[in-house]
Chains A and B, each alone.
Chain A
Amino acid sequence: MIRARVIVTPKPVVNDPQGLTVKQGLATLGFREVTEVRVGKYIEVNLEGSSEHEARERVEAMCRQLLANHVIEDFRFDIEPEHKRR
């Protein structure tokens, strides 16, 4: 079993009102060193198979076709091989 951990974020050019609001909240709490906050999504995908290379290709395709919208979002992921089933 392989686990992919996918992170989807709004593209830098896309306005992120959620991030701005969280940044303001942090400033209110005294975290004034915060210069920017971007809010995205974290998606875990467990896959059958053992080839890390193949899993990478498959997850890349999943991101392009569904998990991220290329108009507004960027994605990145890492692969955890030999993930033990919970």
Chain B
Amino acid sequence: MKFGVVVFPGTWSDRDCGWVIDQVLGQELTYLWHKDPDLKGCDCVILPGGFAYGDYLRTGAIARFAPVMEKIGEFADRGGLVWGICNGFQVLCEAGLLPGALIRNASLEFRCEWTHLSVERTDIAFTSQCEEREVLRVPIAHGEGSYFADPATLSRLEQRGQVVFRYCDENGRIVPGANPNGSLHNIAGIVNARGNVLGMMPHPERCSEEELGGTDGRKLFRSVAESALKVLVS
């Protein structure tokens, strides 16, 4: 399994993702510079956290013009796995690869803390190693992570089961008090209709080793790696 981690000017979680991929999981890793004209044969492309192009105008608004983004769009159309984390989720929404938008946290604060996520879908590559309704403990770090979509889009997402993660309490209850940013329906992560493009605000790469206080994030990376293995075997 070859992972590609995209680096825009202003990206800051690229090395954290890279570390988990090659040091923790022993998978093949390459970094994709925003000007790269091809994806170097990657099976999964990760858009990591940070502030791509300084988040000028709006979060993710300028990153979508990077040459590498055109290739990522084509890759997603072919069914390739694309995974946006934090700023990467914002970029995917601006690029139109995922519906909706991420706006300023309801509290106006930059929230940097542990959250609990209820896993709502386990039939996609990104969560294949998780149990249905499993509770993952994953940290967030963002100022603009409040998920918004118009009512029609939101009900379409719900009907098609495109909500993958919801903020919940430690017992898995999806309650307003567990929502750190005001996201509609406690949404922390969504997938496209085809199931190959995932966007999520929490940072699984920051909880993939015991030293960091948790390993639940590793499950998601392992899910992607194992899903590729399944395809090879079948």
Q: Which residues of A contact B (CB under 8 A)?
A: 10, 13-15, 17-18, 21, 66-67, 69, 71-72
User: Which residues of chain A are near B172, meaning CB under 8 Å?
Assistant: none
B154 to chain A minimum Cβ distance, whole angstroms, is 11
B15 near A: Cβ within 8 Å?
no
Which among B104, B105, B108, B150 is the interface contact of A13 at CB below 8 angstroms? B150
B54 near A: Cβ within 8 Å?
no
Complex: how many Å from CA A61 to CA B28?
42
Q: Please, could you name 19 A-B residue pairs with CB atoms under 8 Å apart, sorted by A?
A: A10-B103, A13-B150, A14-B148, A15-B148, A17-B105, A17-B107, A18-B104, A18-B108, A21-B108, A66-B61, A67-B57, A69-B61, A69-B101, A71-B100, A71-B101, A71-B148, A71-B149, A72-B101, A72-B103
B156 near A: Cβ within 8 Å?
no
B182 near A: Cβ within 8 Å?
yes
A28 to chain B minimum Cβ distance, whole angstroms, is 16
Closest partner residue, chain B, to A70 (CB atom): B101
User: Which residues of chain A are near B106, meaning CB under 8 Å?
Assistant: 15, 17
Which among B93, B94, B101, B108 is the interface contact of A17 at CB below 8 angstroms? B108
> DSSP majority for the B interface?
loop
A15 to chain B minimum Cβ distance, whole angstroms, is 6
Q: Which residues of B contact A (CB under 8 A)?
A: 57-58, 61, 93-94, 99-101, 103-108, 146, 148-150, 182
User: Which residues of chain B are near A15, meaning CB under 8 Å?
Assistant: 103, 106, 146, 148, 182
User: Which residues of chain B are near A13, meaning CB under 8 Å?
Assistant: 150
Which 5 pairs across A and B sit closest by C-beta, in order of nearness?
A71-B101, A72-B101, A17-B108, A17-B106, A17-B104
Closest partner residue, chain A, to B65 (CB atom): A66
User: Which residues of chain A are near B146, meaning CB under 8 Å?
Assistant: 15
Closest partner residue, chain B, to A39 (CB atom): B104
Complex: how many Å from CA A10 to CA B104?
11
Complex: how many Å from CA A14 to CA B151?
11
Among B101, B106, B149, residue most surrounded by chain A Cβ atoms (within 10 Å): B101
Complex: how many Å from CA A4 to CA B182?
34
Complex: how many Å from CA A18 to CA B101?
17
User: Which residues of chain B are near A72, meaning CB under 8 Å?
Assistant: 101, 103, 148
User: Which residues of chain B are near A17, meaning CB under 8 Å?
Assistant: 104-108, 182
A39 to chain B minimum Cβ distance, whole angstroms, is 9
